[in-house]
Structure 1
Amino acid sequence: MTRSIRSSKIIKGNTIKATVMYVAVLALMTTAVVGCNRGIKPVVNDPVKLVQIAQPISVLQPVFNVDVGNKKASRKDPLSLQVGYDKTQMVTASRGGDLAGFDKAGQRLWSLNVGEQITGGVALDPLSQTAIVSTRSGKVLAFDSATGAKRWQQQLSGSVLTPALITNNRVILSANNGFLHGLSLQTGQSVWQFATQVPAISIRGAAAPTLLDDKTALLATADGRLHAITTDSGLPQWSRRIGVGTGSSEVERMSDVDGMPIVDSNQLFAISYSGQLIGIDLASRQVMFVNELASLKALAVNNQQVIATSLDGKVVAYDRSNGQTLWESEALAYRDLTNPVMIGNYIAVGDLDGVVHLFNPATGNIVSRVETKGALTNLQVQGSRLMTQSTSGQVAIWQLAR
């Protein structure tokens, strides 16, 4: 299977630029070490051109659009910021450190700058009206989501690249040095820490912590494992390897699980960079299937399917009970796809040009598109609304058409 990464994916100590074939990366790294074969060039795959939809339908209607700014952002930094959103408010963050609160109608309520680059996106807790962000230096900051008033600040030993998980009076964050932190939601004080193994080389990125059940958090790590940990005290419950890298070099053996695992109807689904998509029955703890597909993005599920976007731009739907391939689309090959999400009865996927593509889950055909400005790295869904934030700082919200 060919693995390709388009746009900058930073490996600790190394940078892979443009659309570089995995094998070519190894060749170039080997060349740099031994000093020979300087003429080797990486194989570049151009993004496929979009084909016009024959009979497009209206799926999404624009609701809100704002430029939250992107000053001080590095083009070499593959940060994927996300919006904090609930039924009454929204909090946005820019890589330059700007934080802003909006009401349901899109009216700006407050804005501020935290003084350094925001790396973790926004986590929003509607019950306590708390917005959590983290910075490049490892600071975790809590604000009143209605007024922007600062509540507390905590310093971690490593930076956080994903939004926090807020649950059961805990703020749970996964730092890039392998530590999972559990902080008090009220004070920010450290309640517990959980250390994981950090490989010598990994993709610079992380999966956001998620809930396994009401008392247990699920953490995916750079060494290809899933860890189940109690949210109140950080005690480990179980651990399972998902990603299995093969090869003679550390680069070949990279097995990061950077896409947030999905837990739905007592089933767990996860996917790794090294090419394993796994489905687990949580009641029996038995593996339902393992398929070969490589991705750094979270999966999506509906009643019958689990949907994935691969490193080389395939969109694939599997039967969630047995892993059988239901359909596969290469219509967006090498277009740096986001995670897929379910919005209504459709599958939405974003790309490097700011286009959101809507798929019919029964056929795998693209039936509609909407556009924003800048490359998309992540899609979010809240009820009947789809949210995007581009690398250029454009935040957009769409509503399902009636």
Structure 2
Amino acid sequence: MTRSVRASQTIKSNTLKKTAMQVAVVALMATAAAGCNRGIKPEVNDPVKLVQIAQPISFLQPVFSVNAGKNASKKDPLDLQVGYENGQMVVAGRGGDLTGYDSNGQRLWSFNVGEEITGGVALDAFSQTAVVSTRGGRIIALDSSTGAKRWQKQLSGSVLTPALITNNRVILSANDGFLHGLSLQSGQSVWQFATSLPAISVRGAAAPTLLDDTTALIATADGRLHAITLDNGLPKWSRRIGIGTGSSEVERMSDVDGQPVIDNNQLFAISYSGQLLAIDLASREVMFVKELASLKSLAVNSQQVVATSLEGKVVAYDRRTGEVLWESEELAYRKLTNPVMIGDYIAVGDLDGIVHLFDPATGTIVSRVETKGALSSLQVDGSRLMTQSKSGQVAIWQLPR
């Protein structure tokens, strides 16, 4: 099948696009109802009830949990991700508290930035640096072993996602459309790169990721991926991922808020407007485009790429061909987190604080563990799974030894 045919199929996916816009439309209708007509009630789908697992396996073992304080409000439900690397952990609370822990959950230090934190923790164990951002656009770097403040930098816009720390650079994507490269040592601005900012976008952003040793890959609210040199911020290439169609600004939203995944010289990314794209980085050719809408990052193993959709579907695709291997609607409308690979299983969190473990071969849920509060994100570091709830509860789970 030619690339033009794939593009045509993507653009014609009106049904999926309407589903993808459900979150924004509901929000806009709710706002209109509050100001104009309180009798209007947007349609909201109830989360499906969970089916009991016949013979659940015992898989993840709890290590410890901590409470970082309230991380989200109904007006601004941001995801404050945990910084975790090589046994170090730094947790951010919405009120401005940062706390460092060792691998056993022993509290080492605490620091308050004096303002609401909007971007989760970026942690670089090699340089012993933790970086967070605040509502007012301040970027703050701390010594991750002691909590001592190293520097701060004021940006023109706030940052809603963790930074990328690599090659003596701190790479950030601000909500005013500017990408920033700061000096890791001093916080001074080394470069800026301006991107197109749509009139309306989803509240959120994708964290920058490392494309190769010299290049950062950054997704933006206009549905594009930008490959930017780490050293001086020069663009290498740009590609549109999200393709929004329609007559209104809302219908044309095409945000890429899930962090792109680079694995074995393949790039995977997904958009709010309903396109999951796979690219062969060696040839820069599109391998496949599938119709699915999401604001969450993808999970990839040696054979599959797995996504959670806006409607709560969990779908596994063949990573080479894009063929659907299985699809589960057992968690429909349960406000799912990003999927992650942990051991031999796929983990997905939901609005009740439950982590569901899927068998990647069959798509069957084989185990569950439970924490407190609606989960906002899952992270994996080696044999450990980090769960973070919107109420600020952070839990660490360990694979059986």
Superposition TM-score, scaled by structure 1 size: 0.92
Q: Give the equivalent residue in structure 1 for 2:182.
A: 183
Deviation at 1:21, TM superposition (A): 6.3
Q: Give the equivalent residue in structure 2 for 1:49.
A: 49
Q: One-letter code of the match for 1:48?
A: V
Q: Give the equivalent residue in structure 1 for 2:219.
A: 220
Contact preservation (8 Å) 2:265, 2:282:
yes
Q: Any gaps of 5 or more consecutive residues in structure 2?
A: 1-14
Distance change in 2, residues 1:31/1:83 (3 Å) = closer
Local SS of the residue matching 2:120: coil
Local SS of the residue matching 2:369: strand
Deviates more, 1:73-82 or 1:136-145: 73-82
Distance change in 2, residues 1:145/1:252 (3 Å) = same
Aligned residue pairs total 386
Q: Distance in 2 between matches of 1:32 and 1:51?
A: 36
Q: Distance in 2 between matches of 1:392 and 1:53?
A: 27
Q: Give the equivalent residue in structure 1 for 2:209.
A: 210
Q: Give the equivalent residue in structure 2 for 1:349.
A: 348
Deviation at 1:27, TM superposition (A): 6.8
Q: Give the equivalent residue in structure 2 for 1:154.
A: 153
Distance change in 2, residues 1:132/1:28 (3 Å) = closer
Q: Distance in 2 between matches of 1:28 and 1:181?
A: 35
Contact preservation (8 Å) 1:268, 1:282:
yes
Contact preservation (8 Å) 1:222, 1:255:
yes
* Residues 179-219 of structure 1, C-alpha deviations (whole Å, 9 max, x = no match): 11000000000000011000000001000000111110001
* Residues 153-186 of structure 1, C-alpha deviations (whole Å, 9 max, x = no match): 1000000000000000000011001111000000
* Residues 248-288 of structure 1, C-alpha deviations (whole Å, 9 max, x = no match): 00100000000000000000000000000001111111101
Local SS of the residue matching 1:219: strand
Deviation at 1:59, TM superposition (A): 1.3
Local SS of the residue matching 1:370: strand
Q: Give the equivalent residue in structure 1 for 2:397.
A: 398
Q: Give the equivalent residue in structure 2 for 1:61.
A: 61
Contact preservation (8 Å) 1:347, 1:358:
yes
Q: One-letter code of the match for 1:165?
A: L
Deviation at 1:75, TM superposition (A): 2.5
Deviation at 1:41, TM superposition (A): 3.0
Counterparts of 1:266-285 in structure 2, within 5 Å, are 266-285=265-284
Q: One-letter code of the match for 1:148?
A: G
Distance change in 2, residues 1:299/1:21 (3 Å) = closer
Q: Give the equivalent residue in structure 2 for 1:166.
A: 165
Q: Distance in 2 between matches of 1:145 and 1:24?
A: 41
Local SS of the residue matching 1:121: strand
Contact preservation (8 Å) 1:21, 1:43:
no
Q: Distance in 1 between matches of 2:126 and 2:33?
A: 55
Local SS of the residue matching 1:122: strand
Deviation at 1:89, TM superposition (A): 1.4
Counterparts of 1:11-26 in structure 2, within 5 Å, are none
Distance change in 2, residues 1:107/1:29 (3 Å) = closer
Deviation at 1:74, TM superposition (A): 2.9
Q: CA RMSD in A?
A: 2.0
Q: One-letter code of the match for 1:301?
A: V
Distance change in 2, residues 1:194/1:367 (3 Å) = same
Q: One-letter code of the match for 1:279?
A: A
Q: Give the equivalent residue in structure 1 for 2:306.
A: 307
Distance change in 2, residues 1:237/1:113 (3 Å) = same
Q: Give the equivalent residue in structure 2 for 1:116.
A: 115
Give the % identical residues: 78
Deviation at 1:69, TM superposition (A): 1.1
Contact preservation (8 Å) 1:47, 1:332:
yes
Q: Distance in 2 between matches of 1:62 and 1:148?
A: 26
Q: Give the equivalent residue in structure 1 for 2:370.
A: 371
Local SS of the residue matching 2:117: coil
Superposition TM-score, scaled by structure 2 size: 0.92
Contact preservation (8 Å) 2:33, 2:41:
no
Distance change in 2, residues 1:111/1:244 (3 Å) = same
Local SS of the residue matching 1:339: coil
Deviation at 1:340, TM superposition (A): 0.3
* Residues 344-372 of structure 1, C-alpha deviations (whole Å, 9 max, x = no match): 11000001111110000000000001111
Q: Distance in 2 between matches of 1:56 and 1:31?
A: 45
Q: Any gaps of 5 or more consecutive residues in structure 1?
A: 6-15
Deviation at 1:88, TM superposition (A): 2.9
Q: Give the equivalent residue in structure 1 for 2:5.
A: none
Q: Distance in 1 between matches of 2:33 and 2:128?
A: 53
Contact preservation (8 Å) 2:33, 2:39:
no
Q: One-letter code of the match for 2:228?
A: I
Local SS of the residue matching 1:228: strand
Which structure shows the higher helix fraction? Answer: 2
